[in-house]
Structure 1
Amino acid sequence: MELNIKRVVYHILDTGASEPLLSDRETDLDADLTEYFMTCLEKAFAADDGRMCEFLPDSAFAQELASNQDFIDLSRRIAGVIFEQMLQYPSIPAGDLAVVDFTVSSVPYLGVLKLNYRPGYTHQTRTLGNAQYSGMTPQRTLLPGTPKADEAALIDLAAMRIRLIEKRYEMDGKKDYYLSGRVFGCVQAMPEKAKLKAVCETAAAAVREAYPEPESLDDVPPFDGGTETAVDLMVCNQAVDNTIAVEDVRARMRECYPLAAPKFEQALAETGVAEDDRVTVSPARMRKMSSRSFRTESGIEIKIPAELCSSDEAVEFIHTATGGLSLLIKDVLV
């Protein structure tokens, strides 16, 4: 991920005070702080609990974002709205807020990172007469020791889409989200897992219909679930920085499965996934798709990189006369 931080404004949202402490200038960034915020952003992009959301037509935040070009003033307004929610609903934890102006592969983004306080202790040394005394002092406003935001909003300013990491808190007698509904004015779009599932299942169904005999395809291994595995792998292979562009999948389908491409595009449109959409794939899903495991009745288990399952030069799947399946592994080094 080609991520570049341009500037950061840092605000203190401690509900122990009646007012937030809002900065009126950018934060001085050294190498350590830059790395800290870079890691926070990278983890927020990769988090499995991130939800892609769309701004509602009457979103006050979206309107403010479109009209307010003053980065510092915009950050203060965001901090002020969040602090109002914290005062109204004590269950929302106090914390500091970093508003980040950054780019991802030259695409402009606005990041809102909430670093919730953690209780802890620090040491304290005092002199009592001629003796020194050391002890522990409780602290209630310690920041996270590891660079990870508890709550975050990553706003793609070009596409006007927002990726949220938020938590439910007790509000008006029930647990609810406050960032999406009360701060940013957005609603969850189709979940990323559902998008990926729709793309993979639609592609696999189109291939099965267009090519009813998968053994006729060079890149579909002849084992149970072969078509699904090959198509899933083809889809996930289009990922760049854990993001898949639907247009890349459509182009790959036209190249690999030309007979299935028209049906895929027609069926995909019916799922609600747009042609110019982008799908986030979690690192866990990428790891799962990176290999295939095979187990014999005797308990022998073999794991093969997924991309090699369709390569006759590396492995070969052979149907036996009894209807079973044998695996020939080539060029074994001993």
Structure 2
Amino acid sequence: MELTLEAAVLHVLDPGADLPVLSQTLLTDEDALHYLGGLAAKAWNSEEAKTCSFTSESPLLAHLGELDQAFLSVTADLAQSWFDVLRENPSIPAADAAFLLLNIDGNDYFAGLKLNYKTGYAHFFDMGTGDAVTGITRQDFLLPGASGKADEAFFVDLASQQVRVLEKKYEIDGRKQPYLARRVLCVKPGMSPKEKLAAIRDIAVEVNQQFYGSTGVDEPELAAAVCEEFREFRSASSQPGAPAQPAPVAELCDKLYGNLPHAREAFAQALAEREIEMDEPLPMPAAAVRRMEKQSLRSAGGVEIKVPVSVYRDENAIEFIRNADGTTNLLIKNILL
């Protein structure tokens, strides 16, 4: 990923004050810009970031074309809205809000990072009396370290107006819920890659139980199919030429239900109900795929075995024997003692 930071401003959102502190100048310090660029890169790469879309009620939508000339005023208005939400909901931590104009892989974005305050300690010294006096003082308004991350963030593609949002849940109106997408940006939340992959896994399990009981596609088979697609995508990405695109969800469906037409139909219908299209790219966040590479199998007696999905379909390594009562026996071959 290539990220270039073109402009940045920092506003202070401390709900303990009556008003936010809105900067009237851009950040110019190179260390500060490098720090914000690093935090932006981490937020952009988060597998929990959701793809969202603007609604007609979003006040930001009308001002995207003004960012070049009115960056400070547009960000000040957005910071004020963010501050108002914090004042109304004490569970949301105080923070600084950094707003950025940046370019990621050739595309221009308007971004915001919420930098929650951290508590830390620093030394101090006083030479006022002639004697060196040193001590330790508590600091309650420290920003995340360079190796840390922004707790919440958003990225608006200035060409497509697609919005990418990373948000957290806080106690609001009596229940834990996210707020950044709906209450600050006024965008319609979508699903993060992590949530979408989890939904696809849940749908496959539901389809299996509905149509085929324990004789159809099970979770390890799904994991094996996802890992295969991921390896193919990574292999294609390493080749010279145009960047590879993840395979569509339909290809995963073919791997799972190629010879099971009723299950294919149910799988597609369940995806549509959760607003996941068959022709959209299969979400394959690397961390989530790594967690799927070994599947845990448990017996009724409590024995647990971790099976790498790389050998799941290798009959020379293991064999699943389906029993008439719906249970399955696992035969492990070529054991080295």
- The two structures have a TM-score, normalised by structure 2, of 0.70
Structure 2 partner of 1:82: 79
User: Separation in 1 of the partners of 2:182 and 2:317?
Assistant: 53
Structure 1 partner of 2:188: 187
Paired residue secondary structure (1:317): strand
Structure 2 partner of 1:38: 38
Structure 2 partner of 1:219: none
1:225-264 correspondence to structure 2 within 5 Å? 226-235=217-226, 237-238=228-229, 248-254=248-254, 257-260=257-260, 263=265, 264=267
Structure 2 partner of 1:127: 127
User: Separation in 1 of the partners of 2:137 and 2:330?
Assistant: 67
- TM-aligned CA distance change 1:287 to 1:256, over 3 Å: closer
User: Separation in 2 of the partners of 1:208 and 1:94?
Assistant: 46
Deviations 1:267-302 (A, max 9, x none): 533442234545656666434422122345776543
**Could you list the runs of 5+ residues in structure 2 that have no partner in the other structure?**
235-244
Structure 2 partner of 1:136: 136
Deviations 1:193-240 (A, max 9, x none): 664355345556778999x6x9xxxxxxxx877544313442465457
- TM-aligned CA distance change 1:4 to 1:321, over 3 Å: same
Q: CA deviation at 1:184?
A: 1.0
> Aligned partner of 1:329: which letter?
K
- TM-aligned CA distance change 1:195 to 1:295, over 3 Å: closer
1:1-334 correspondence to structure 2 within 5 Å? 2-13=1-12, 15=14, 20-22=21-23, 24-25=25-26, 27-29=28-30, 34=34, 37-43=37-43, 45-46=45-46, 48=48, 50-65=49-64, 67-70=65-68, 73-74=70-71, 76-86=73-83, 89-90=86-87, 91=90, 93-102=93-102, 106=106, 108-145=108-145, 146-157=147-158, 158=160, 160-168=162-170, 179-189=180-190, 195-202=196-203, 226-235=217-226, 237-238=228-229, 248-254=248-254, 257-260=257-260, 263=265, 264-265=267-268, 268-275=271-278, 277=280, 285-295=288-298, 301-318=304-321, 325-330=329-334, 332=335
% same residue: 26
User: Separation in 1 of the partners of 2:315 and 2:35?
Assistant: 45
Whether the 8 Å contact between 2:4 and 2:102 is mirrored in structure 1 is: yes
Per mean C-alpha deviation after superposition, the further-off stretch among 127-136 and 291-300 is 291-300
> Aligned partner of 2:6: which letter?
R
Q: CA deviation at 1:85?
A: 4.2
- TM-aligned CA distance change 1:324 to 1:267, over 3 Å: closer
The alignment yields a C-alpha RMSD, in angstroms, of: 4.4
User: Separation in 2 of the partners of 1:35 and 1:224?
Assistant: 53
Q: CA deviation at 1:308?
A: 1.4
User: Separation in 1 of the partners of 2:140 and 2:268?
Assistant: 54
Structure 2 partner of 1:218: none
Q: CA deviation at 1:180?
A: 2.8
- The two structures have a TM-score, normalised by structure 1, of 0.70
Whether the 8 Å contact between 2:248 and 2:279 is mirrored in structure 1 is: no
- TM-aligned CA distance change 1:316 to 1:103, over 3 Å: farther
Q: CA deviation at 1:309?
A: 0.6
User: Separation in 2 of the partners of 1:154 and 1:160?
Assistant: 8
Q: CA deviation at 1:253?
A: 3.2
User: Separation in 1 of the partners of 2:169 and 2:115?
Assistant: 13
Per mean C-alpha deviation after superposition, the further-off stretch among 313-322 and 77-86 is 313-322
Paired residue secondary structure (1:253): helix
> Aligned partner of 2:66: which letter?
N
Q: CA deviation at 1:190?
A: 5.2
Paired residue secondary structure (1:180): helix
Aligned length: 314
- TM-aligned CA distance change 1:130 to 1:191, over 3 Å: closer
Paired residue secondary structure (1:286): helix
- TM-aligned CA distance change 1:119 to 1:192, over 3 Å: same
- TM-aligned CA distance change 1:281 to 1:76, over 3 Å: farther
